[in-house]
Amino acid sequence: MSTHRRNDQKSQVLRRHGALNPHPESVEDVLFRDSEFFDPRDLVQLRYEMLRTVRQDRRPVAETAAKFGCSRPTYYKALGDFDTGGLLGLVPRKRGPRGGHKLTDEILTFIEQRLQEDGSLAAAELAEQVRKRHGVAVHASSIRRALSRREKRGE
């Protein structure tokens, strides 16, 4: 077994950035077998090589995707990401919502106005006022984080 498979530090970094392949054992391409350079755990490298194999070596998409442990839709998503963003486009993006979907600008403005009127209000009290006024259930910790982010940005 090659040394990169034993390198826990690399696995930790890949996991932290969302680039750790959850199923490296499904990669069957010859480049990734017993190689010190090609690492089946590295999603960015894996996807780049998959795209290169189809484009440069002119291999069929379905066959190539299967050898790289991927589906055809995954291949086409990687292709679009690469065509749009180059190599950086292959770096996985954080999943989930990109921002607070309950704490809209209108609700944050309401919260800030309430704090200007009474600076002693706790986040739990603000959450209750938001629920009563806007009909939205927001956790107190979400309010604290949103206010902290706004403060850091100087808003």
pLDDT tens for each residue of 6-61: 578 999 999 988 999 999 999 999 999 888 899 999 999 999 999 999 999 999 99
Q: Measured between alpha carbons, how far is 120 from 91 in angstroms, rounded to an integer?
A: 44
Q: Measured between alpha carbons, how far is 27 from 124 in angstroms, rounded to an integer?
A: 50
Encoded tokens for 24? 């490296």
Encoded tokens for 57? 């070596």
Q: What is the pLDDT of residue 150?
A: 81
Encoded tokens for 134? 């806007």
Q: What is the pLDDT of residue 1?
A: 44
Closest CA to 48 of 85, 10, 100: 85
Residue bearing tokens 């680039």 = 19
What rounded mean pLDDT belongs to the chain?
90
The share of the chain scoring above pLDDT 70, in percent, equals 93
> Cα angle vertex 73, ends 41, 78, to 5°?
55
Q: What is the pLDDT of residue 151?
A: 82
| Coil vs helix vs strand at 90 | coil
Cβ–Cβ under 8 Å, residues 142 and 100: yes
